[in-house]
Amino acid sequence: MPGTNPTYRTKCFEPLRQGGRLVNAMSVDVEDYFQVQALAGAIDRKDWDRQPRRVEDNTNRILELFARHAVKATFFTLGWIAERHPTLVRRIVAEGHELASHGSEHRRADHQDADSFRQDIRRSKALLEDLSGVQVCGYRAPTFSISDRNLWAFAILADEGYTYSSSVYPVQRDNYGMPGAPRFAFFPLVGMAFEEYPITTVRLGQRNLPGGGGGFFRLLPYTLSRAAISTVNTGDDKPAIFYLHPWEIDPGQPRVKPLGFKSRLRHYLNLGKTAGRLDRLLSDFAWDRMDRVFRPGT
């Protein structure tokens, strides 16, 4: 089982604290509504440029919310988006947030071979660095698509100059997940300092339950997310990792048809509630960028 593999060495570090509260990692996956997995069967990749883009306005709303709460975050930004919205990339950096890579074309890592994956992450890193003037150290795979099937991706990321990834979700889901992976920060490569920061889960019996945001945060009552993060902070004494997408605060986005019931539910339910919940979350816990919370290389 991957979680017991001796090569998965846990990262030991003293968590950051702010005013007596443990500091958690806030992150945003910067992609537009038509690029998500739930809509992949309804919108062809070749038609992306024909869709009305809403990502810049939605990300700016998130940036304004972060500014009101004096929160800094990590923005895992898609190269496709950066090419079309360079001003947004520069605003993210100018406001003190960490810029990180979400790949170039939102292709699942486990649907690429090693050469294609290398080209994708190399291109996105170079593009983001050229636009922003800052070094890009972090990567998150679309749909958390690094798992037992493609562990080779870690070595390629390290070889291309990344120092950390946040691409593993230690849960069992229908289209992603690595339930046997460690729940907290670990080193996936023998003898190398490259680090993986898995999305937050809560242990219940023999299972890990999702607790790090995304659909879990939007679909279920806010109290469950708050309880999950509190449990990780107080019970495990570990920082939580939270993530969301700009489209999740946008109830006015186009309704894509045709779409199956499960995909409609996953994508559209509670879009009008997410911004308010995020506002509460930013007050209820302390937050900072991934690189400052986990301090890769230390």
Q: What integer pLDDT is reported at residue 266 of this predicted model?
A: 84
Q: What integer pLDDT is reported at residue 153 of this predicted model?
A: 98
Q: What integer pLDDT is reported at residue 7 of this predicted model?
A: 63
Q: Which residue reads 């289209």 in tokens? A: 175
* 198, 241 Cβ separation under 8 angstroms: yes
How many CB atoms sit inside 10 A of residue 256's CB? 19
Q: What integer pLDDT is reported at residue 4 of this predicted model?
A: 41
Q: What integer pLDDT is reported at residue 257 of this predicted model?
A: 87
Q: What integer pLDDT is reported at residue 258 of this predicted model?
A: 85
How does pLDDT run across 86-108, given as a tens digit for each residue?
A: 999 999 999 999 999 999 999 99
- Fold for the domain defined by 2-294: TIM Barrel (3.20.20)
Q: How far is CA 155 from CA 150, 162, 163, 198, 223, in A?
A: 10, 10, 11, 17, 38
* 212, 201 Cβ separation under 8 angstroms: yes
Give me the residues of the chain with pLDDT under 50, please.
1-6
Q: How far is CA 84 from CA 53, 107, 127, in A?
A: 10, 18, 11
Q: What's the chain's length in residues?
A: 298
How does pLDDT run across 132-182, given as a tens digit for each residue?
A: 999 999 999 999 999 999 999 999 999 999 999 999 999 987 778 999 999
